[in-house]
Amino acid sequence: MDISNRTVFIAGGTSGIGAGLARRFHAAGSTVVVGGRRAAGLDDVGSVTVDVTDPASVLAARDEVLTAHPDLDLVVTMSGVMLTEDLRDPAHVAQAEQSVAVNLLGTIRVVDAFTPHLLAQGHGDVLTVTSGIGFTPFPLMPTYGATKAAVHSYTESLRAHLAGTGVGVSELVPPAVATAGQEQLNPNALPLDAFLDEVVGLLSQDPTPHEVVVERALPLRWSERDGTYDEMLAQRSQALASLPGR
């Protein structure tokens, strides 16, 4: 995927991986707009305020982006929340609802908002964002993993729906990356720059990669195929001991 001559909107680009990816595209020569609830004050790239849980906000952001950038040709659905839950406490449903609203419905809303533009234009790409956890659960984040598995499945269907239109569909599958507090939760999280170096390298190898999976994410992505799933899930379940009363 070319990253040097694109007009890109990254929903969820106000911090972390999305902000890092925005800087990489910008540095390579692309025009970038990031979106998020905290969009104000980002100077090096354009920004719009958007809450992906609010349908009207998504459409308003879409209109703002396309008015300023009618040649938009890449949409990245990066908005996400990574919430821990205790499934022995029914109060966890609040985290479950927020996870579904942002990670799954938010992705669907952002894709829906821009699909007519991309189809009318006859070229462009959608890049969704899942997680290694969508393929090998991390039981401390149960609904998070479920939403990422859902976005993976949705991405595969979206690709089929858009086949032959000139609009490509790709999926970024990060492992644990040292952003959004993961650096405290997981000392083995990949430093953001190392992750982005590898992502940029993988993007440049293929015009429309179905999946962008850095080396650290490969064991999670393929555990079922590799016969390591049960062992990895058991190992990853040990983090449940950090919950109160366990």
Length reported for the chain: 246
Instruction: Give the shortest CB-151-to-ligand NAP separation in angstroms.
Output: 9
Closer residue to ligand NAP (CB): 104 or 162: 104
Instruction: Give the shortest CB-103-to-ligand NAP separation in angstroms.
Output: 6
Segments in the chain forming alpha helices (H): 16-28, 55-68, 93-99, 106-121, 142-162, 182-185, 192-205, 218-221, 223-226, 229-237
Instruction: Give the shortest CB-236-to-ligand NAP separation in angstroms.
Output: 14
Closer residue to ligand NAP (CB): 66 or 105: 105
Tokens standing for residue 235:
């190992």
Residue of minimal Cβ distance to ligand NAP: 16
Residue 29: which region, alpha, beta or left (left: phi > 0; alpha: psi -120 to 50)? Answer: left
Instruction: Give the shortest CB-90-to-ligand NAP separation in angstroms.
Output: 24
Instruction: Give the shortest CB-109-to-ligand NAP separation in angstroms.
Output: 10
Instruction: Give the shortest CB-235-to-ligand NAP separation in angstroms.
Output: 17
- CA gyration radius for the chain? 18
Closer residue to ligand NAP (CB): 71 or 155: 155
Closer residue to ligand NAP (CB): 31 or 136: 136
Instruction: Give the shortest CB-47-to-ligand NAP separation in angstroms.
Output: 9
What lies within 8 Å, CB to CB, of 52 at 6+ separation is 11, 12, 58, 79, 102, 105, 106, 107, 109, 110
Closer residue to ligand NAP (CB): 81 or 126: 81
Q: Note the residues at the interface with ligand NAP (CB under 6 A).
A: 12-18, 36-38, 50-53, 78-82, 102, 129, 131, 174, 176-177, 179-180, 182, 189
Torsion of CA 133, 184, 188, 131, to 10 degrees: 20
Q: Can you tell me the distance from the alpha carbon of 100 to that of 86, in angstroms, rounded to the nearest whole number?
A: 16
Closer residue to ligand NAP (CB): 32 or 78: 78
Angle (CA) 142 145 146, round 5°: 85
Closer residue to ligand NAP (CB): 119 or 239: 239
Tokens standing for residue 212:
């962008």
Phi, psi of 129 (to 5 degrees): -130, 120
Phi, psi of 3 (to 5 degrees): -115, 5
